[in-house]
Structure 1
Amino acid sequence: MKTEHIEVVDYDSKWVNDFNQIKGEIEDVLKDLVLAVEHVGSTSVPLLAAKPIIDLDVVIDQNDLKEVIFLLENHGYIYEGDLDLKDREAFRYEGKEHLRTHHLYVCPQDSKELKRHLAFRNYLRKHPNIVKEYGKIKKEAAKLYPNDIEKYCMYKSQIIEKIYKEIGL
């Protein structure tokens, strides 16, 4: 499968501010329907090389999903369904040029995907030696497969599986 050019860069402390800006807009739109907005993915781990794309998990009560979808769709987000991952709803967007490129997901608070994202992030935050190794592998993958996301992901899969095993997933 071909994709846009894959770029992995050194950690940028500005990613925290980028996350907070996106989080603020989401909270303004969804108000009290938001239980939490979690910065997940590689940009959420200090010193980890990453594709400069912010991943966010918006945590909600499952009963509020239809209203959340409606509100987000009225603010430039396009609902894509669960993309074959149960309890994680994906959104793309238009007209958000003022924000860092991001992936927005909405998860109920008991979502296995949410728990997996948080466990992976939290493990990496506590293991700088793994962060260094994982970052190196990600850079190698991007260099070897700059236009093939499937091969990029396959190249990283061994270390990801090692981390999942460490955290019991």
Structure 2
Amino acid sequence: MSDSYDDEKLSAVLVHGLRPVKVTIADYDPGWPARFERRAADLRAVLGERVRLIEHIGSTSVPGLAAKPIIDIVIGIDDPDDEPAYLPDLEAAGYNLRVREPEHRCLRTGDPDEPVNLHCYRPDHVEVRRYLAFRDRLRASESDRNLYAATKRELAQQEWRDMNYYAEAKGPVIGQILSRAGWRD
């Protein structure tokens, strides 16, 4: 979801509606990559050849970066809009559909000890490339990591009507960082 939000627009794509949230930012946990690897192996077992790409994205994929302690994963599948081709298997594996929008589904595990946000796109979707460019820039640039961490900590001081508003508020800084990575929308 990349356009500016309002409650009506969000309600149209959020399966369970708006959920007020107070964001928690944790210092980097060196166990996050292992949590991703476990989940990636599970996803490969559940989806088999239907999954064309599995990548660890978001702040937990960047060594040294403070983050919400939720592993973000993007998978590439042929057609995210063809839910019967994959969604029942992911739901049986404990994932709950949270966002339904054209060419994108977002699911979340119900496991409070190891929460995961799972984004489903076509492997060549522009959002996949954008996630990876952002991750790679943060891995390579200490100054951008510090800027992003400070921004997240500042934004976490307030309560949000929904997590998507928090994500949107980070947009200007994400745009700056992507620009330094050579990204052009």
The answer on whether the counterparts of 2:137 and 2:178 sit within 8 Å (CA) in structure 1 is: no
Consecutive aligned runs of 4 or more in structure 1 exceeding 4 Å deviation = none
Give me the whole-angstrom Cα distance separating, in 2, the residues matched to 1:13 and 1:168. Answer: 32
In percent, how many aligned pairs have the same letter?
31
Counterpart code for 2:145: V
**Pick aligned residue for 1:92 from 99, 108, 119:** 108
The answer on whether the counterparts of 2:78 and 2:122 sit within 8 Å (CA) in structure 1 is: yes
- 1:6-155 matched pairs, under 5 angstroms: 6-62=23-79, 66-82=84-100, 84=101, 86-94=102-110, 96-97=111-112, 100-143=114-157, 145=158, 147-148=159-160, 149=163, 152-153=166-167, 155=169
Encode CA deviations 1:26-48: one digit per residue, 9 max, x unaligned: 11111222222110011111111
The answer on whether the counterparts of 2:26 and 2:67 sit within 8 Å (CA) in structure 1 is: yes
Structure 1-normalised TM-score? Answer: 0.83
CA RMSD of aligned residues (A): 2.3
Shift of 1:101: 0.9
Structure 2-normalised TM-score? Answer: 0.76
Give me the whole-angstrom Cα distance separating, in 2, the residues matched to 1:151 and 1:78. Answer: 21
Encode CA deviations 1:42-77: one digit per residue, 9 max, x unaligned: 111111111111110111223875321131122222
Q: Tell me, which stretches of 5 or more residues in structure 2 are unaligned?
A: 1-17
In the superposition, relative to structure 1, how do residues 80 and 155 fare at CA in structure 2: closer, same or farther (>3 Å)?
A: closer
Greater share of helix residues, 1 or 2?
1
Q: Tell me, which stretches of 5 or more residues in structure 1 are unaligned?
A: none
Shift of 1:5: 2.4
In the superposition, relative to structure 1, how do residues 159 and 36 fare at CA in structure 2: closer, same or farther (>3 Å)?
A: same
The answer on whether the counterparts of 1:42 and 1:50 sit within 8 Å (CA) in structure 2 is: yes
In the superposition, relative to structure 1, how do residues 51 and 74 fare at CA in structure 2: closer, same or farther (>3 Å)?
A: same
